[in-house]
A = this chain, B = another copy of it.
Amino acid sequence: MSKPAVVLLSGGLDSATVLAVAREQGYACHALSFRYGQRHAVELACARRLAGRMGVVQHVVADIDLRIFGGSALTAAIEVPKDRDTTAMQQEIPVTYVPARNTIFLSFATAWAEVLEAEDVFIGVNALDYSGYPDCRPEYISAFERMANLATRAAVEGRTEFRIRAPLIDAAKAEIIRRGMALGVDYAMTSSCYDPGQDGRPCLRCDSCRLRAKGFRDAGVPDPLLRRFGLTAP
């Protein structure tokens, strides 16, 4: 029987790729998404479709309203920055940073992993072509893993050693895209935009759209999401 794993699935390009990687490694994947008050909740529809298409054992959407704290352009009435240069993005942490988001997501994933008796939690963080978020760096992931192994009954009783798997952490966006395409990921089913239209149409101007466009450009392939909406690459 295949080993269970929890896979954080936002519905974006990276997490879709991670799900494909985990599946290829033979894991029985339990996908976890969050309705956290994000303005780009259209990604949850993508997560649902991806989970269905990619044969997960189960897909759970946890309701956690992070708007109670505010402090981010993704959850509060702060404008999403547009038209920023992809190099400039890495100079500072932008207002789209959501305080402690990955820590909250990984905490829930750890709880579920413990209940499932899974040792592996997959997350699509990426320290290279990222938007400057602190909770996407390898030293953060290691510190979380260490903490999780002190936090849980399964670990303390020696039944489990939790591993936070971040298979894309060192990869450039183009590399992620190539890897996903080789594994059959349909990127038309993913959503990366921080400020999409009601129908999921990407703005093509936010940091996330621009990083995605650069990734497809560098990979030398067209983004199938653009075709879906009849758009041309920015």
State whether A134 touches B147 (Cβ < 8 A): no
A155 within 8 A of B: yes
The residue from B65, B100, B108, B143 contacting A62, defined by CB atoms under 8 A apart: B65
- State the number of copies, please: 2
State whether A111 touches B101 (Cβ < 8 A): yes
Q: Which of A98, A112, A137 has the most CB of B within 10 A?
A: A112
A55 within 8 A of B: no
**A44-76 interface bits toward B, Cβ cutoff 8 Å, 1 = contact, 0 = none:** 000000000000000010111110111100000
**A87-101 interface bits toward B, Cβ cutoff 8 Å, 1 = contact, 0 = none:** 000000100011111
**A residues in contact (CB < 8 Å) with B:** 60, 62-66, 68-71, 93, 97-104, 107-108, 110-112, 114-115, 134-135, 137, 139-140, 143-144, 146-148, 150-153, 155-157
Collect the chain B residues with CB atoms within 8 Å of residue A98's CB.
Answer: 111
State whether A66 touches B111 (Cβ < 8 A): yes
A sample of 10 cross-chain residue pairs with beta-carbon separation below 8 angstroms, ordered by A number, consists of A66-B111, A69-B111, A71-B111, A93-B156, A99-B153, A100-B114, A134-B152, A134-B156, A143-B143, A143-B150
**Once bound together, how far apart are the Cα atoms of A97 and B152, in whole Å?**
9
Collect the chain B residues with CB atoms within 8 Å of residue A137's CB.
Answer: 150
**Once bound together, how far apart are the Cα atoms of A66 and B101, in whole Å?**
17
Shortest 7 CB-CB contacts between residues of A and residues of B:
A71-B115, A100-B111, A143-B147, A99-B114, A134-B156, A99-B111, A140-B150
Minimum CB–CB distance for A226 against chain B, Å: 32
Known: A71-B115, A114-B71. A151 touches B100 (CB 8 A): yes
The residue from B65, B100, B102 contacting A63, defined by CB atoms under 8 A apart: B65
